[in-house]
Structure 1
Amino acid sequence: MDRRYFERKKGRVEIIPMIDIMLFLLVFFIMITIQMIPDQGLSLQLPQSSEAKQLPRPHMTINIQKDGTVVVKNHHYDLTGLQALIARDGDPGKTVITIAADKQVPYQDFIHVMDSCQKAGASDIGLAAKAS
């Protein structure tokens, strides 16, 4: 009488858990890569501040050039177009906006841009400055 307590089984490679892990790694890699793509800004002469702080990454950066031109993600907008862009951004009340204005921009142009942001419903508006 031959008793076998431990039967020999041929090993199998389970493919479905490997596919799950590979898809998880792929999604993780894509999410990290998207976070690393910087929002392209313009070369501006920002005003200096002794109290400037590093803020969380802004959702939308609005650049105001010396001549008053408004640029967002390499596209030029007038104030009406800027207001429409912010309003289309899902929930404007949760949109984080950073305004980077050249230090030679007239204050009135800066105020017009802020007014357009507020008319669109954005309330979380930050100002860009260089730490001195």
Structure 2
Amino acid sequence: MLPHRAPRKKGRVEIIPMIDVMLFLLVFFIMITLQMITDKGLKLNLPTSSQAKMLPHPHYLVNILTDGSVVVKGKPMDLAALQQMLAGDGDVSKTDVTIAAAQKVPFQDFVHVMDSCQKAGVTNIGIATKASA
């Protein structure tokens, strides 16, 4: 008498765990891509310094438009509001600010923004330029 064999089960590909893995990969890809977006800058012949460092991704990117208005995170604000926002950020000594000015912004407007940042207690200030269209 021949032994009775149980019918062989076909292998199945579970689709739900694959979807979960793909969503996790997509989320990680988006998060890493957002951190890799850098601000464009100008290549300048600057003096050398033993303390020179690469600028980190700033907590705040302060844009100065041609008319002298200041925009932070898409919101226009005056210099007093900028100073108040930066001062209320918690530990201001660890706050990184990058100032990006339009090409034809008067230097005096740039100095006013830098002065507001320093009055708020920010010491980590970087300078960038806006990418031209």
What residue is the counterpart of 1:76 in the other structure? 76
CA contact (8 A) 2:67 2:105 kept: no
TM-score, length of structure 1 as denominator length: 0.59
What residue is the counterpart of 1:105 in the other structure? 107
Between the aligned partners of 2:93 and 2:14, the Cα distance in structure 1 is: 48
CA contact (8 A) 1:83 1:120 kept: yes
Q: Pairwise CA RMSD of aligned residues?
A: 4.1
TM-score, length of structure 2 as denominator length: 0.59
CA contact (8 A) 1:97 1:126 kept: yes
- The answer for unaligned runs of 5 or more in structure 2 is 48-52
In the alignment of these two chains, the number of paired residues is 123
Identity of aligned residues (%): 59
The alpha-carbon deviation at position 103 of structure 1 amounts to 5.8
- 1:51 maps to which of 46, 49, 52: 46
Q: Structure 1 residues 24 and 48, CA, compared in 2 at 3 Å: closer, same or farther?
A: closer
CA contact (8 A) 1:92 1:122 kept: yes
Between the aligned partners of 1:47 and 1:105, the Cα distance in structure 2 is: 16
Between the aligned partners of 1:92 and 1:55, the Cα distance in structure 2 is: 17
What residue is the counterpart of 2:50 in the other structure? none
Q: Structure 1 residues 36 and 127, CA, compared in 2 at 3 Å: closer, same or farther?
A: closer
SS in 1 for 2:99: strand
The alpha-carbon deviation at position 125 of structure 1 amounts to 0.7
